[in-house]
Amino acid sequence: MKWMMRTTAAMVLLISYIMVYAGCANFNREEVIVAVLDTGVDSEHPLLRGKVIQGWDFADQDRDSSDDDGHGTHVAGIILEKAPNAKILSVRVIKNDDVMNTGLAILYAITQGADIVNMSFVEPYHPFTEMAIQYGKSKGVVFVASSGNQNQDKVLYPAKYDEVISVTATDESLHYVYGNYGRTVNFAAPGMNIRSASLDGGYLNMTGTSMSAAYMSGVMAYLKSMYPSMGSEDLEDYLNTASITRNDLVLYASHETMHRPFKVIDYEQVQRLVRMELASGSESVEPAAALRSEMQSIDSYNRMPTIVEMSSDHLEGSANSEPYRTE
């Protein structure tokens, strides 16, 4: 086992060096770049036009990373809605519901200067993928992934890797959780009936942890654009401070109701904190903690009853049987 791990680590480094020396690397981008590892992205959608960097298609092994499914386009739209100044690096890893070459795609995203890598899918554990993520983490890259939609007390890969921020979905009231949950989930973010770009140039609503992971990546990209000097650990520390911890009763899609604390990310809350900090001339995490406690009294987190009743609206767009999908 140790021999295999050492061999895998060596392969990660070797492939990274090959990409660099072959001229495939571009570390010196000034933009905030979010790599979307998905079904591709429709770069001609009005919401995305001029914001998409065409990357490599690791499913068909060519330079056409356009989307023929719609999932990646929807994810990219959510990210850009939160971080309109960011760029999307389209990296196709999903074809016919199969995820492939994730480790290579991650290495490619790193060498293309990605600040954040969004993975709105689930797949089995692979040591090469784990090593690629560890390598990216050492380079300051933030990894975000969806926890999965099985509505179980567990997290699936790639969200389960230690270096990845795992995200489950919640509704607008923040009292209903959709998707996998538990102690290994880092954050909950809105992921139910989320409106974003579709392949026909229009928009549609989708539900799932794919959407909540994209929401999280968008918030991360927004913070990075506001505070360019922040590293990956700084960004994570900031969101840990800016999040709201819910300790009251929560209704889960698994029909369970329980006391289980979880951290919720709210984009508008983060925006207010950033504006207040910039107005005060501060860019550190400590003021955010003080501002958060002040703002909780004026926040709207208690605008709904303690328990939201189960309804058909909550189950719209529920998980299907395809292996990769989390929405």
Rounded distance between C-alpha atoms, residue 294 and residue 292, angstroms: 5
The SS3 of residue 38 is strand
One of 166, 196, 210, 243 is an active-site residue; which one?
210
CB 12 within 8 A of CB 132: yes
The SS3 of residue 53 is strand
The gap from C-alpha 304 to its chain's centroid, in whole angstroms, comes to 26
Return the number of other C-beta atoms located less than 10 Å from residue 73's C-beta. Answer: 29
Rounded distance between C-alpha atoms, residue 212 and residue 11, angstroms: 32
Q: Is 64 left (phi over 0), alpha (psi -120 to 50) or beta?
A: beta
One of 71, 74, 146, 217 is an active-site residue; which one?
71
Return the number of other C-beta atoms located less than 10 Å from residue 263's C-beta. Answer: 16
Whether 74 is catalytic is no
In order of 36, 40, 101, 150, 263, the CA distances from 318 in angstroms are: 22, 22, 27, 10, 23
Whether 57 is catalytic is no
**Concatenated DSSP letters for 88-157?**
EEEEE-EETTEE--HHHHHHHHHHTT-SEEEE-------HHHHHHHHHHHHTT-EEEEE--SS-SSS--T
Rounded distance between C-alpha atoms, residue 75 and residue 248, angstroms: 30
One of 38, 57, 67, 266 is an active-site residue; which one?
38
Which residues have CB under 8 Å from 174's CB, separation 6+? 188, 244, 246, 264, 266, 301, 304
Whether 255 is catalytic is no
Backbone dihedral angles phi then psi of residue 311, each to the nearest 5 degrees: -145, 170
Q: Which residues are catalytic?
A: 38, 71, 210
